Structure 1
Amino acid sequence: MDLGESGERQISWAARSMPVLTAIGERFAGERPLDGLRIAACLHVTAETAVLMGALRAGGAEIALAASNPLSTQDDVAEALRAYGVAVHARAGVDRATYYRHIHQALDIGPDLVLDDGCDLVNTLHTERTDLLAGVSGGCEETTTGIIRLRQMASEKALRFPVVAVNDTRTKRMFDNRYGTGQSTLDGIMRATNTMLAGRTVVVAGFGFCGRGVAERAKGLGARVVVTEIDAVKALDATLQGYEVRPMAEAAATGDLFITVTGNRDVVRAEHLAAMKDGAILANAGHFDVEIDVRALDELAVEVHRGVRPSTDEYVLADGRRLLLLAEGRLVNLTAAEGHPAAVMDMSFSAQALAVAWLARERLRLAPGVYDVPEEIDQEVARLKLAATGIGIDTLTGDQEAYLHSWRVGS
């Protein structure tokens, strides 16, 4: 079986669990909301992303795609996408220089719109490809990490075009961040290590939507879960949900498995690594490979054994303790496993596709900045997903609608 045929099978399998995005693609084929528009995208090159690319292509867009993580690229899917007419600049396992060269190649399309997953493409546009900025009239961002960077750019008045924060929809945070990240992160860890979680101490760094999902799934498998946080409200939330909350400096000595989900850097540092027990496992489910200080781990180690298990490297410290780093500190769910299930990405990418169509209509009326996805798009995605799964919900009666919009009716 050649790469293209294998990729086609992967895409077809994913599409079975993505009825909402498939229906949107069929609608786009008739409406053609993206006719004449060039899109540069920096996303995980997976089968689920391929279904999104198909919907946008059906809407009339010309697309150039680079990978947002070199370890998540599925080469067979990339080859199948090229046959679909998408210019794919991605290959599994490339180095940092090649990763950025691919982003530049995707930008060479001269985009009208951009799709990003982590803000690397938008950052490159604003630092190295400023010659293209005048032609870009809008973009979409898929991740928490990317939104953090974009809001900082906007606050400094550095952002030159409007960007829709697809990550911040209620459906994305609930379905993708919480349930998708929770399941796929533990899937990657168990594939890489074959570790039993019941009875083990799992330290989850960060109790946002992603961290909450990871903590819930680990607790459901019988783990003792310790949460570390910098936000007092989130720490209180974790405490009231029954989790033990500690600073990382205290948790480091007791954890069997550490999972970072913060969107920040140096969450696990040299002093934490020095306190960890023999056999501790380190995994990252935040977007970039900066949450675990891998350089510090390299410096502490006297030996490094690569590939002792799939996506698992063993670092031997001077006193003989062994620490296991998964996926080189990159996204463990997309490196050691296949990322979110297709049913999860059906909702995330449906919101992405509808946001792109909305942006194509509204982009010329929007000032540079970060914009929320319109509520009607979020509601439409949820309604379509419920309909696809055969679930019905109630609707307001006339009296109920009037009551919600009146201040005159009391108890």
Structure 2
Amino acid sequence: MMPGQALTRPRPELKHSSFRMVVVAADAERIQRTLAKFSAARGYTYEGRYQVPGLLEGSLAGVDFQLTVRTRSVPADGSGTLALPAEGAEQCEVVIMSTTSGRAPIDDVLDDVVQSLRGATAYSEAELDQIVESMPLLYRYAKSDAAWNSWALVFRDHYVENSVGFLLACERAGLAPEWIYALSKGDRTSHRDRVHATFIERGYRSAVLDNSVIDGAAGESEQREALLVGADVNEFIKSAHDAGRRVLVVDDGGLIAQGRATESTGWERIDGAIELTVSGLQRISRTDVEVPIFNMARSRLKTHIAYAEIADSCLRRVRSLLHGQKLLGRRIVCLGFGTLGARVARGLRASGGRVLVVDTDSLALISAAEEGFETARTLGAALEREAPFLITGSTGAQALTAEDLPLLPQNVFLAGFATKDFALFSRNSENLSSRKISDIGTEYLLSGGRKAILLGDGRSLNLYEAEGIPNQGYDAYRAGTYLAAVSMCRSVEDLQPGVHVQAADQAIEDAGLFDAYYDTYIDVA
């Protein structure tokens, strides 16, 4: 595997009613310890033995089943990390087989074993060092700082390597691990299990608070799980306050949308927040806010640097999923011509696509038209004029409606870069017949025998079984977020409640981050 393939390639796994095969980014000794701990916790027995160096065989048994587990050490292929594998790094191929005849299917037991092995995949110290080395700007600024001594942190974002880098930086600066609560936004990032395992191993709390819950689109089981997580977060915030610590949230509006920025909702109130996304700002606008919030979503850093990296990751991911499709000369409709959508449209046109832009904002349409794009006010109007093979969405709102379904051309691909754009399909509100296409997405059957293929899971496509942005690509944005967080910790007593637009920009400017970015990545001898 070439360096960087781990951005988009999921780890291989084979699944059958009587066996599982999985590749685990851990050595045989760690797998041995994990299986022993897993068995003890469930009242099973486990006995492992080495056949030869690098080849482990074990027996895992319960009351009415017996499994054989064979583990073979092989050189790490780079699929478990964004960096080149460290010298001598290994991973393991693990085969779990049922050796019991006449028993009912044991899929649940096999799946539990696989999940426990995935929990063994915390990044090694060598891999963590590689993450640190890949984010030089972040670690330029993350020095020991007394500002963290009286704070706790709730960090809610995608579970990717640069999130690991950010929290390691906070640790390095003096934030104790027990005062870090990490929350995944629920996207199926390729290394999410490794990230979670790393956070747990380092002493953080780690859980999932899915965006679908925040947006009111989750099912009953997800809502029940979110209530448990919410209660645990509340206990964490209360414990921090009882210990004399304030609580900072780095988020996309999820926790604030739940009412944690005001005392009138019954939740323990946080003390400050760093807002990362425009959708988060929209969520915040619908709730009362009694704490200061720094606006990273509209910062110069995100607008001029981070969005370019996000757009690049979107374009790379859609091209990788459409690797069997011709793009040159074919028609594409791009929904949304905002900061991200405009970059996506330009990128697809630069790749040879014939792009038409749809937006509800007249000024955005004027900008697109004056750049030479065809334009339309609605998707329906666009589909009446041409039959695209690809439709992208980056509006952050439901951009495709039931009225548009009869106009969709045969075998059209849908690529959403924001969660809501193609919610009609991802939530299947029209009860369409569908089939899953492994590692690609879902095919939906429309009227007249037409088919539409939703790439990924209808959420941010650049994060579907992928890492999204390389660590170096998000280094500056993580560094800027860190600088904003430290500024909040130092100045919170002097800040008024509400969203502060200039504060993040000022902290970044005062630190000289743009000069450091230029010197580090652009003006390199």
Query: Which among 28, 33, 36 is matched to residue 147 of structure 2?
Result: 33
Q: 1:329 aligns with which of 458, 472, 485?
A: 458
Indicate the residue corresponding to 2:252 in structure 1.
118
Unaligned runs of 5+ in 2: 1-24, 27-117, 213-217, 241-245
Per-residue deviation, 1:13: 4.4
Write the mapping of 1:256-271 to structure 2, written as runs, cut at 5 A: 256-264=389-397, 266-271=398-403
Q: Distance in 2 between matches of 1:162 and 1:299?
A: 41
Q: In structure 2, do the counterparts of structure 1 residues 365 and 77 end up closer, same or farther at CA, with 3 Å as the change threshold?
A: same
Residue aligning to 1:79: 197
- Which residue number corresponds to residue 304 of structure 2? 174
Q: CA deviation at 1:270?
A: 1.2
Distance apart, 1:45 and its partner CA: 1.3
Q: Provide the rounded CA distance (Å) in 2 between the counterparts of 1:106 and 1:84.
A: 18
Q: How far did residue 67 of structure 1 move?
A: 0.8
1:193–1:312 contact (8 Å) kept in structure 2: no
Counterparts of residues 150-169 of structure 1 (less than 5 Å): 150-153=284-287, 158-169=288-299
Q: Please state how far the C-alpha of 1:82 moved relative to its aligned partner.
A: 2.1
Q: Is residue 24 from structure 1 mapped to residue 155 from structure 2 by the alignment?
A: no
Answer yes or no: is the 8 Å Cα contact 2:393–2:421 preserved in 1: no
Sequence identity of aligned pairs in percent? 20
Take 1:89 and 1:35, find their aligned partners in 2: how far apart are those partners?
Answer: 24
Structure 2 residue 15 is the aligned partner of structure 1 residue 15? no
For residues 360-394 of structure 1, the C-alpha deviation after alignment (integer angstroms, 9 at most, x for no partner) is: 011122221001234333332212211222629xx
1:240-279 equivalences in 2 (<5 Å)? 240-246=370-376, 247-253=378-384, 254-264=387-397, 266-279=398-411
Q: Point out where structure 1 has 5 or more consecutive residues left out of the alignment.
A: 393-411
2:494 paired residue number: 365
1:71 is matched by which residue type in structure 2? R
Q: Which amino acid aligns with 1:105?
A: D
Letter of the 2:255 partner, please give it: L
Structure 2 residue aligned with 1:384:
516
Amino acid at match of 2:233: A
* Gap change, CA 1:116 and 1:361, over 3 Å in 2: closer
Distance 2:426 2:183 in 1: 26
Runs (4+) of structure 1 exceeding 6 A deviation are 91-95
CA distance in 2, matches of 1:270, 1:83: 46
TM-score, normalising length: structure 2: 0.67
2-structure distance, mates of 1:43, 1:226: 32
The answer to whether residue 314 in structure 2 is matched with residue 185 in structure 1 is yes
Structure showing greater relative contact order (alpha-carbon pairs closer than 8 Å, 6 or more residues apart): 1
- Kindly indicate whether the alpha-carbon contact (under 8 Å) linking 2:141 and 2:479 is maintained by their aligned counterparts in 1: yes
Residue 203 of structure 1 contacts residue 255 of structure 1 at CA under 8 Å; is this kept in 2?
yes
**Alpha-carbon displacement from aligned partner over 1:35-87 (angstroms, at most 9, x marks no partner):** 13111121111111010011112223321011112423611111112222322
Change (3 A) 1:99 1:24: farther
Is the CA contact 1:259–1:285 (under 8 Å) kept in the aligned structure 2?
yes
Q: Residue 296 of structure 1: CA displacement?
A: 7.5
Give how far 1:5 is off: 4.9
Query: Using a 3 Å threshold, how does the CA distance of structure 1 residues 206 and 331 change in structure 2: closer, same or farther?
Result: same
CA RMSD of aligned residues (A): 2.7
Match of 2:329 among 177, 182, 199: 199
Residue 314 of structure 1 deviates from its aligned partner by 0.5
- Displacement after TM superposition at 1:124 (Å): 1.9
Distance 2:283 2:209 in 1: 26
- Is the Cα contact below 8 Å between 1:133 and 1:160 reproduced in 2? no
Whole-Å Cα distance in 1 between the matches of residues 449 and 342 of structure 2? 34
Q: Cα distance 1:376–1:366, how it changes in 2: closer, same or farther (>3 A)?
A: closer
Structure 1 position 6, deviation (Å): 5.5
Structure 2 CA distance for aligned equivalents of residues 82 and 133 of structure 1:
24
* SS in structure 2 of the partner of residue 329 of structure 1: coil
Using the alignment, how far apart are the partners of 1:132 and 1:282 within structure 2? 39
1:69 pairs with 2:69? no
Aligned letter for 2:327?
Answer: L
- CA distance in 2: counterparts of 1:18 and 1:381, whole angstroms: 13
Q: Which has the higher helix share?
A: 1
**What TM-score, normalized to structure 1?**
0.84
SS at match of 2:352: coil
**Distance change >3 Å, CA 229–CA 271, structure 1 → 2:** same
Q: Could you report, residue by residue, the CA deviation over 1:173-203 in whole angstroms, capped at 9, with x for unpaired residues?
A: 12222x1222111222233332332222221
AA of the residue aligned to 1:141 = E
Measure how far apart 1:139 and its partner are.
Answer: 0.4
Cα displacement string for residues 109-142 of structure 1 (whole angstroms, at most 9, x for unaligned residues): 11633434431121124499944444x2100111
Instruction: Give per-residue Cα distances to partners, 1:294-337, cap 9 Å, x unaligned.
Output: 27855262x3111x241411011231111001222111011143
Separation in structure 1 between the aligned mates of residue 450 and residue 402 of structure 2, nearest angstrom: 14
Which has more radius of gyration? 2
Amino acid at match of 1:324: I
Secondary structure of 2:449's match?
coil
Tell me the alpha carbon deviations over residues 192-216 of structure 1, each in whole angstroms, 9 at most, x when there is no partner. 3323322222211111111111112
Greater mean deviation of Cα atoms: 41-50 or 94-103: 94-103
Matches of 2:364 and 2:505, distance apart in 1: 25
Structure 2: how far apart are the matches of 1:21 and 1:5?
A: 25
- Between structures 1 and 2, the one with greater strand share: 2
Cross-structure match for 1:102:
229
3-state SS of paired residue (2:391):
strand
The alignment partner of 1:40 has SS state of strand
Q: Which amino acid aligns with 1:347?
A: A
Q: Report the more deviating stretch, 194-203 or 163-172.
A: 194-203
Task: Give CA deviations for 1:199-245 in whole Å, capped at 9, x if unaligned.
Answer: 22221111111111111211121111111111111111111111111
Q: Report the CA distance shift for 1:269/1:336 in structure 2 as closer, same or farther (over 3 A).
A: farther
User: Within the alignment, does 1:285 sit opposite 2:383 as a pair?
Assistant: no
